[in-house]
Chain A
């Protein structure tokens, strides 16, 4: 098992007062490998992150800011980094082998950084699939809190793909080749970025679409007013969507003069015995008002009782 520890050191000079984060990785043998910005630079260049070759600038933007940002973000969490390392560390002895690892003089360490960076960037639809996985792992019909962070990150990732796609297309044009017919390495790189964009779009759309479906069903199951715990899970636009859907449904039902949200099976008895679970207070039910106090038993019109039952405020009382 590999441990990764984060050591913050005060950093002076270079005009920045930000703390420099040194990432040290050590395995069970206890050898500590520190990561300097030079190493990060090497790896970043290898994986094609934009870098203008200005050593000093690089040191500042990666050594102190970006790498620490990577760790301050919710992800990669320590767990994720460990997981990434475990993938690499096939025989679980704290050492990395294979993958052409020996071609670096300092290969162990490069592989580690590569993996930290690789998993924190998570391009090629990885993040977007996390978003969808969130939906897949939640119970059907249940809503989880809108994941604003991840959503924004996926959109940022799309921008990154877009930039890389454009730069590859420009390169094809600069080489004097026809974009439509060229099938060289640049073309396939561009295809991969293009496909990643489409994939991200699909994941984002599916996330919104499936949530919207649940939100619509809320109006039918819970009623026009959502409890606070559900409201907190909605994003601003989803709240608006719920209100609009609710208004549309209400105006339609008003036109029909029929409540469509009640139970579709005709009841045997129009009245129902109910027990009150929470202090609701005085409510106006049809032409009479009833005082619904906790644990009291009432005989109500079925249609009046239904909304309270679905909100969990009263329950059907069975002898």
Chain B
């Protein structure tokens, strides 16, 4: 319930999972683009968002297949050089979804695989976050999953705060919600439609 309003949790559950229907289902043919009638046949393979796949799995209506992000190919790539693997394009919620999917596919190796991936990428993220210039977005940033980019930003901003503290500066600042760019008075009065 604590995560009910959590945006990241909602977006994580939107990730598509391949499932195989163990039963037929009427009235939801729309979910299966290959379906010719308004029903899904037993044995049909359909991509469903995780929130639907999970609930249907609990009702024993579908069998869940391991998403490609956790297959052997990805594991080999991670083993070769974890920091260079583009996890974001594979699944932006790699770790969160991995934890959710592990009990569904009954694969006991996923847990240790996720841990290994995180640990080997963590050091790289942290050291790069501390070293990169403040305004620059580093080259490897698009490779990071959502969780990793939060981590990166946290490290980055704490470094920035440290530098500011050391050099001294104004405590009071313009509210960030007003945006970075200052607008002239004329612009402010004409509503942007």
Proximity bits, B49-66, A CB within 8 Å = 1, else 0: 101100110010100000
A158 to chain B, nearest CB (A): 15
From B173, B174, B176, B188, residue with most partner A Cβ within 10 Å:
B174
Proximity bits, B15-33, A CB within 8 Å = 1, else 0: 0000000011111111101
Indicate the size class of the contact surface on chain B: 35 or more
B107: chain A residues at CB < 8 Å are: none
Indicate if the CB atoms of A168 and B59 lie closer than 8 Å: no
Residue A234 is within 8 A (CB to CB) of chain B in the complex: no
Indicate if the CB atoms of A205 and B56 lie closer than 8 Å: no
> A241–B77 Cα gap in the complex (Å)?
51
Q: Which residue of B lies closest to A313 (CB)?
A: B174
B1-49 contacts to A (CB < 8 Å): 4-8, 10-11, 14, 23-31, 33-39, 49
A123 to chain B, nearest CB (A): 6
A117 to chain B, nearest CB (A): 9
Q: Which residue of B lies closest to A190 (CB)?
A: B27
Contact of A129 among B4, B10, B61 (CB under 8 A): B10
Indicate if the CB atoms of B177 and A230 lie closer than 8 Å: yes
Indicate if the CB atoms of B59 and A222 lie closer than 8 Å: no
A206-228 contacts to B (CB < 8 Å): 206, 209-210, 214, 217-218, 221-222, 227-228
Question: Which stretch, A5-13, A242-250, A303-311, touches the partner chain B?
Answer: A303-311
Indicate if the CB atoms of A185 and B7 lie closer than 8 Å: no
A186: chain B residues at CB < 8 Å are: 26-27
Residue A253 is within 8 A (CB to CB) of chain B in the complex: no
Indicate the size class of the contact surface on chain A: 35 or more
Contact of B49 among A125, A133, A142 (CB under 8 A): A125
B183: chain A residues at CB < 8 Å are: 229
A190: chain B residues at CB < 8 Å are: 27
On whether A192 and B177 interact (CB within 8 A), knowing A210-B7, A228-B191, the answer reads no
B177 to chain A, nearest CB (A): 6
A221: chain B residues at CB < 8 Å are: 175-177
Other CB < 8 Å A-B pairs besides A124-B30, A199-B51, 7 of them? A100-B36, A136-B11, A142-B177, A227-B178, A277-B182, A309-B174, A316-B171
CB pairs A–B below 8 angstroms (18 shown): A47-B30, A118-B33, A124-B28, A124-B31, A132-B14, A164-B27, A168-B27, A185-B39, A188-B59, A191-B25, A191-B56, A196-B52, A217-B177, A229-B183, A279-B185, A309-B172, A315-B170, A316-B171
